[in-house]
């Protein structure tokens, strides 16, 4: 009986303490509003679906050519912050061009948005109607040590005796 009473008291105190420390929703919203700039929201010019297609191409490019994910897996699991299921349903499936390390996404009106892997610069989305970027990609040499010689999480080596 005493154990049950003690457990009940501890649970009640823990819940009360957590509730007292957690900021209220109104307090969080008020804090967020204090950081807002006093400017009206103006969406970027152009068709929103065109922007979603560009983001989708870029994310798929990164997933396939930088992360090494299989295209089908990437389509099903990656990048919904740039193109949700609803937007993707209106777009063509990404076309993976492995030879040129590029991804193309076609809109219903026939416009194609493309992104290309550019080595150290990662994947970059091309402007509409362009097939190249407006800068010269350069190789960026890492100054980090060889990950094979560094312990995880800074490298790939596991600590001795683990496993």
Closest by alpha carbon to 49, among 126, 105, 123? Answer: 105
The Cα–Cα gap between 7 and 88 comes to 51
pLDDT tier, 159 (very low <50, low <70, confident <90, very high otherwise): confident
- Domain-located, residue 104: yes
Write out the residue range of the structural domain in which residue 110 sits: 48-125
pLDDT of residue 63: 97
Strands (E) located in 1-155: 95-97, 102-106, 112-117, 123-125
- Domain-located, residue 96: yes
Phi and psi dihedrals of 112, rounded to 5? -115, 130
Convert the pLDDT of each residue in 91-139 to its tens digit.
989 999 999 999 999 999 999 999 999 999 999 999 998 988 999 999 9
pLDDT tier, 18 (very low <50, low <70, confident <90, very high otherwise): low
Count of domains in the chain?
1
- Domain-located, residue 136: no
- Domain-located, residue 69: yes
- Domain-located, residue 43: no
Is pTM beyond 0.85? Reply is no
- Domain-located, residue 99: yes
- Domain-located, residue 143: no
């Amino acid at each position: 009986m005493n154990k049950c009473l003690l457990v009940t008291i501890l649970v009640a105190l823990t819940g009360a303490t957590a509730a007292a420390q957690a900021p209220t929703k109104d307090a969080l919203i008020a804090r967020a509003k204090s950081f807002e700039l006093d400017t009206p929201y103006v969406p970027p010019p152009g068709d929103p679906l065109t922007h979603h297609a560009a983001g989708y191409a870029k994310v798929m490019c990164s997933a396939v050519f930088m992360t090494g994910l299989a295209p089908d897996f990437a389509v099903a699991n990656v990048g919904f912050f740039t193109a949700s299921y609803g937007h993707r349903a209106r777009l063509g499936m990404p076309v993976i061009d492995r030879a040129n390390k590029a991804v193309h996404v076609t809109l219903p009106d026939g416009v194609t948005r493309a992104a290309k892997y550019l080595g150290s610069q990662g994947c970059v989305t091309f402007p509409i109607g362009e097939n190249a970027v407006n800068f010269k990609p350069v190789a960026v040499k890492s100054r980090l040590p060889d990950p094979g010689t560094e312990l995880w999480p800074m490298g790939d080596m596991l600590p001795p005796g683990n496993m």
